[in-house]
Amino acid sequence: MPQPASATVRSHVRIPLTFPDGYHADAEVFTFHGLSDGAEHLALALGEVPEGGTPLVRLHSECLTGDVFGSDRCDCGPQLRESVERISETGGYLLYLRQEGRGIGLYNKLDAYALQDSGLDTYDANTALGLPEDGRDYTAAAQMLAALGHTGIDLLSNNPDKAAQLAGLGITVRHRVPTGVHLSASNVRYLRAKVERTGHSIELSRLVG
């Protein structure tokens, strides 16, 4: 895979974060020039990376329904909350990527939800709409990390495709660290599909029969 063109830091600003459960964190939020897809992705620097240490990084795809409205149809909101705390403890970055619905967009994601209600899983619903199962490209994420001076990371993710894409884009993933299992009655089919269809490292077997 060819290496992406360089991006540069455009600006940075401190934003104090408070989550609905009362958890607080301080973030230094970075914006960028020259990202490959032209989208307004953000990097949130959290905690302090020890001298000579490796940053913990989460590539979090935007999910309006889960991140903002607390939808139980996915595990995105709880993963976002967990990631901010874990990265703050060890030092690193949360890359907030504008890739709603695994890259298919908000309206298409909601259309896919309607198809899931008729029995399709999250991947087959996308393809039934003539869309990719997962349309995300992590070139911009690799550019952001390089612009921040990091080409070696620990990746906070259950998704093997994220690690594989980053490795092909010149980012060394030292360890892939799984997130917790954020299970609800409304997302169990969604989580099972991620395990069975795309090899996500989610320990469902001990929680769901």
How distant, in Å, are the alpha carbons of 78, 103, 166, 191 from that of 57? 16, 20, 12, 22
Residue 111 known to be catalytic: no
DSSP H helical ranges for the chain: 76-90, 100-103, 106-117, 122-128, 139-147, 160-168, 188-198
Residue 134 known to be catalytic: yes
Calpha distance 87→46 (Å, rounded): 6
- 81, 134, 154, 176: the active-site residue: 134
- 81, 86, 102, 136: the active-site residue: 136
Query: What is the longest distance spanned by two Cα atoms in the chain?
Result: 52
Residues forming the active site: 134, 136
